[in-house]
Amino acid sequence: MDPTVDTAAETTPVFPWQMPLWTRLGEARRRDRLAHAYLLAGPPGVGKRVLAWRIAASVLCRSPLADDRACGQCPDCRLLEAGTHPDCAVVEPESGKAQISIEAVRELGADLTQTAHQGGMRVALIVPAEAMTPQSANSLLKTLEEPHGRVLLILISDRPLAVLPTLRSRCQRLDCPAPSQDVLRGWLRQEYPDERRLLRALTLAGGAPLHTRSYLDDAEVQRLDRLAQDSLLVMTGTADPLAVAARWATGESPDLLGLWMVRLAEEMARLRILGHGPPPVLLDLDTRTLQRMLARADNEDVLAYGAFARQARLWLVQGAAQRQGLLESLLIPLAAGLHAFRAQNPGRTGLPRETTS
Ligand SMILES: [Zn+2]
């Protein structure tokens, strides 16, 4: 979902939840205490790549602002913005590949042993760090052990434990935190005042700030409004679940459909089983109406449906051949308020049997 590196971000305001980290790095830089290599670690969607790019821009900029951000005006900033700065490299897996190639790392190593073209530092971003193979890591370690001139390597990872230990131990780790719900809502509310949409995006993204923001994008809002409307029509018996499944299978993103159904199942489970909590935000309904719709289901039915939705999400994302059938088996129970879900779907608490072969 994230662009690999958000190259337009270096001069925008630092995310509020990254300010402590940013201030610390600025101090290190002023005292000439920046490490040669950092591992930026943290959950997906918290803005690690944006931060890495800001750091790169800041160290390459000739006249950074008082708060250490790049000026956006100097020749280095212009080169960086154009994606042609000779002293900044982004190393990532080639399209369709899971791992970073040894050739790419060798090329980086050769670049880093030369003096910086612009007379300052050389910066390289490695994304994601866990995509480095042992062979690539060895090649990179040589560069790390014999840095020529001033080099800054920034490795980025959602899964720092999956990064090779030899690499991890050579980097100073920087943990990128997720913001608290209050900070995140405060940050988004200025730009997105529609509270209902904001809550829906927060619920879907599970607290990841950049994912939340992407669900508030106009096109995404329309898509989510459609999913909400369709789900509600199925649940109230106004739309045929088979017709909706057919439309979703061809017209909607499998990632989004899978996530939508999982979050919807979670919301239904919270209201049916706990019987209280904030009103539903995925559907335009009040708590009582949704509880009434689920009144004939028992707790085990609701939980089993949730387990099935989570499995179905994996299948949708992995490109299950029977996408439409999978969506039908998710939507038909909705039309019955999940009543007798287990009895009618004996094979449905785990992976759907017909799609496992
Ligand atoms: Zn600049």
Asked whether residue 336 is assigned to any structural domain, the reply reads yes
Statement to judge: residues 114 and 240 lie in one domain:
no
Statement to judge: residues 29 and 151 lie in one domain:
yes
Distance 63 CA to ligand 1 centre (A): 5
Distance 32 CA to ligand 1 centre (A): 19
Asked whether residue 203 is assigned to any structural domain, the reply reads no
Asked whether residue 197 is assigned to any structural domain, the reply reads no
Give yes or no for residue 5 having a pLDDT over 80: no
**3-state SS string over the chain?**
CCCCCCCCCCCCCCCHHHHHHHHHHHHHHHCCCCCCEEEEECCCCCCHHHHHHHHHHHHHCCCCCCCCCCCCCCHHHHHHHCCCCCCEEEECCCCCCCCECHHHHHHHHHHHCCCCCCCCCEEEEECCHHHECHHHHHHHHHHHHCCCCCEEEEEEECCHHHCCHHHHCCCEEEECCCCCHHHHHHHHHCCCCCHHHHHHHHHHHCCCHHHHHHCCCHHHHHHHHHHHHHHHHHHCCCCCHHHHHHHHHHHCCHHHHHHHHHHHHHHHHHHHHHCCCCCCCCCCCCHHHHHHHCCCCCHHHHHHHHHHHHHHHHHHHCCCCCHHHHHHHHHHHHHCCCCCHHHHCCCCCCCCHHHHC
Written as one letter, the residue type at 138 is N
Distance 45 CA to ligand 1 centre (A): 27
Distance 351 CA to ligand 1 centre (A): 53
Distance 207 CA to ligand 1 centre (A): 33
Distance 75 CA to ligand 1 centre (A): 7
Q: What's residue 240's pLDDT?
A: 97
342: which 2 tokens? Answer: 């287990």
Asked whether residue 201 is assigned to any structural domain, the reply reads no
C-alpha distances out from residue 313 to 30, 305, 318, 324, Å: 48, 12, 8, 13
Distance 57 CA to ligand 1 centre (A): 8
Statement to judge: residues 165 and 21 lie in one domain:
yes
Q: Which of 232, 239, 336, 334 is nearest to 285 (CA)?
A: 232
Distance 213 CA to ligand 1 centre (A): 27
Distance 70 CA to ligand 1 centre (A): 5
What percent of the chain has a predicted confidence (pLDDT) above 90?
70
pLDDT tens column, 109-153: 888 877 777 778 899 999 999 999 999 998 888 877 776 678 899
Distance 78 CA to ligand 1 centre (A): 7
Query: Looking up tokens 């600025």, which residue turns up?
Result: 26
Last residue in a domain, options 175, 205, 233: 175
Statement to judge: residues 223 and 161 lie in one domain:
no
Q: What's residue 344's pLDDT?
A: 86
Statement to judge: residues 234 and 328 lie in one domain:
yes
Statement to judge: residues 71 and 149 lie in one domain:
yes
pTM as predicted:
0.81
Distance 120 CA to ligand 1 centre (A): 12
Q: What's residue 353's pLDDT?
A: 44
Distance 155 CA to ligand 1 centre (A): 23
Distance 119 CA to ligand 1 centre (A): 14
Banded pLDDT at 13 (limits 50, 70, 90) = confident
Banded pLDDT at 3 (limits 50, 70, 90) = very low
Statement to judge: residues 129 and 228 lie in one domain:
no
Mean pLDDT of the 338-344 span: 90
Statement to judge: residues 103 and 243 lie in one domain:
no
Distance 59 CA to ligand 1 centre (A): 9
Q: Give me the domain span that covers residue 69.
A: 16-175
Specify the number of domains making up the chain. 2
Asked whether residue 155 is assigned to any structural domain, the reply reads yes
Statement to judge: residues 147 and 37 lie in one domain:
yes
112: domain CATH number?
3.40.50.300
Statement to judge: residues 139 and 233 lie in one domain:
no
Is the model more confident about 344 or about 313?
Answer: 313
Last residue in a domain, options 147, 175, 203: 175
Q: What's residue 351's pLDDT?
A: 44
What percent of the chain has a predicted confidence (pLDDT) above 70?
93
Q: What's residue 352's pLDDT?
A: 44
Q: What's residue 356's pLDDT?
A: 38
Distance 73 CA to ligand 1 centre (A): 5
Distance 31 CA to ligand 1 centre (A): 20
Last residue in a domain, options 150, 175, 200: 175
- Torsions phi, psi for 100 (to 5 deg): -80, 130
C-alpha dihedral sign at 132, 6, 260, 239: negative
Asked whether residue 143 is assigned to any structural domain, the reply reads yes
